[in-house]
Amino acid sequence: MKKRQSPAGLWVPILYFTQGLPYIMVISVSVIMYKQLGISNAEIGRYTSLLYLPWVIKPLWSPILELLGNQRKWFLGMQFLMAATFVLMGFLLPGNAFLISSLACFWMISFASATNDIATDGFYILALSEKQQSFFVGIRSTFYRLAVITGQGLLVVLAGYLEEQMAPQKAWSFTMTATGLLMLALTSANALLSPKLKIQKEEQEKAPKKEASLKEFFKVFAEFFKKPQIGVALAFVLTYRLGESQLVKMTSPFLLDSNEMGGLGYGAKEVGFIYGTLGVILLVVGGLLGGWVISRDGLGKWMLPMILSLNLPNAGYALLAFMGWDSYTLVSAVVMIEQFGYGFSFAGFLMYLIYLAKGPYSTSHYALATGIMALGMMIPGMISGDLQEWLGYTNFFLWVLVSGVPALLLLPKLDFPADFGKKSLEEGQS
């Protein structure tokens, strides 16, 4: 008797929730954890920004996944590895060498998460028709963002509650163990619900071409860098989020630091709710609105407003730091406005990356473009903590504002169709 496959409406949401959870734990929750464990802002900026590296270089091994196994086996293997590593981190955190051991775990999770991204997206394309892919693109994005709320919101709130009952190291130990158990449950659900794809004759005929495509990998690389205006385009991609890449690493430390340190003196519970829940909800709303206006009017009309929406709200943090305002309502409003602007602007940025990747190697070139995007987050983030400690929070946030200028200066030099994205918007993954 033939086993009936689970409908895509069941496995797509869980698969993309599983994709989003480890990413946000590595990139954002690690910042809060290390701050609560007494690590300096300079070290936090350096160590957690380096964790972007696997997403920067993941295009280098993406072709290998097709040669060494199917996507389903890859993502299930990587998800189980991440679950086990989160549990391992939970056991190691109470020890004296918690910084080195937890960073080693985060590095393993980072590489596994980047590999899981490749396999998950490849499986999504193989398992669904083009019509189904279009239908589920909004659903997968929604569940990815729900994973962000779970990690940056609920799990941080859990850690904050536990910190009130026990030592911070033990609190975060329980939190990371809980994350590992949640990942294990998600992996089990994916193993049960994701369909086992049969290799069709057409795919078997294409199999020899996989080896050829690997040989042509460097040609694909070269073609990307031969694109018109590629120098200006890459400079724009690297500087688009120059301010945001520094802000995102220091926002949580600013909220958590004591008043004497120039911060607002909030606890992990408050930060988890303000930044990880309210902020992410507005991030999603901003992204949906950004996608809608581009689909209606095209990218040309909205690129400048989107760059401004990304950078101008950062003035709110400078004002909070300068005035020392710690009103819960006011702080929440600043975070929500900044996250809305970020979501609104990121829709335009992703559309530009799609335009930059257009051509015969669009899939590989999009992977390269997103890798360069990650590089633009990693390098400035690495020095963000040093800059904050040198400048203080008020001057640091003013510097973040100034960091938005290069993208504004490069915008008039870009050459792309003003109506690009007007008829249909294909959503990329952040």
Residue-by-residue DSSP string for 113-143 = HHHHHHHHHHHHHHHS-HHHHHHHHHHHHHH
Res 5: pLDDT: 62
| pLDDT at residue 63, as a whole number | 67
Whole-prediction pTM: 0.84
Integer angstrom CA distances of residue 277 from 24, 156, 269, 386 = 13, 10, 11, 28
In a domain, 201, yes or no: no
Name the residue with tokens 């071409």: 209
The low-confidence residues of the chain, meaning pLDDT below 70, are 1-7, 9, 63, 66-69, 130-138, 198-217, 363, 423-430
Query: So what's the pLDDT on residue 58?
Result: 84
Cβ neighbours, 10 Å, residue 267: 16
Do residues 385 and 42 touch, judged by C-beta distance below 8 A?
Answer: yes
310 and 356 in a single domain? The answer is yes
Same domain membership, residue 365 and residue 266 = yes
Please indicate, yes or no, whether residues 98 and 186 belong to a single structural domain of this protein.
yes
Does some domain include residue 179?
Answer: yes
Tokens 């078997």: give the residue: 204
How many beta carbons lie within 10 A of that of residue 359, not counting itself?
Answer: 12
Q: State the residue range of the domain holding 429.
A: 216-430
Specify the CATH number for the domain of residue 120: 1.20.1250.20
pLDDT of residue 337: 95
Which tokens belong to 310? 């990304």
Question: Do 101 and 95 contact (CB within 8 A), yes or no?
Answer: yes
What is the identity of the amino acid at 237? Answer: V
386 domain residue, yes or no: yes
CA–CA separation, 430 and 370 (whole Å): 8
Q: Which residue, chain included where needed, has tokens 């033990």?
A: 170
In sequence order, the 6+-apart residues with CB closer than 8 A to the CB of 185 are: none
Same domain, 130 and 234: no
State the pLDDT at residue 204: 40
Write out the two tokens for 52.
């972007």
Residue 284: predicted pLDDT = 85
**Look-up: residue for tokens 């056991």?**
91
Predicted local distance difference test score (pLDDT) of residue 353: 85
| Cβ–Cβ < 8 Å for 176, 108 | no
Cα separation values, 345 from 125, 264, 292, 303, Å: 26, 27, 12, 8
Q: Which of the listed residues 194, 224, 252 is the one where a domain comes to its end? A: 194
- At 302, list the tokens: 């909205």
Residue 425 backbone zone (phi > 0: left; psi -120 to 50: alpha; other: beta): beta
Domains contained in the chain, number: 2
pLDDT of residue 275: 87
Whether the CB-CB separation of 241 and 377 falls below 8 Å is answered with yes
Q: How far apart are CA 36 and CA 155, in angstroms?
A: 14
Is residue 206 one of the residues assigned to a domain?
A: no
pLDDT of residue 207: 47
Q: Is residue 100 located within the same domain as residue 45?
A: yes
Choose among 131, 186, 253, 135: nearest CA to 20: 186
Task: Say if residue 82 is in the same domain as residue 220.
Answer: no
The alpha helices in 166-314, defined as continuous H runs, are 168-193, 201-215, 217-224, 230-239, 242-256, 268-273, 279-297, 299-311
Shared-domain flag, residues 237 and 320: yes
Contact 388, 253 (CB under 8 A): yes
420 and 305 in one domain? yes
d(CA 416, CA 325): 43
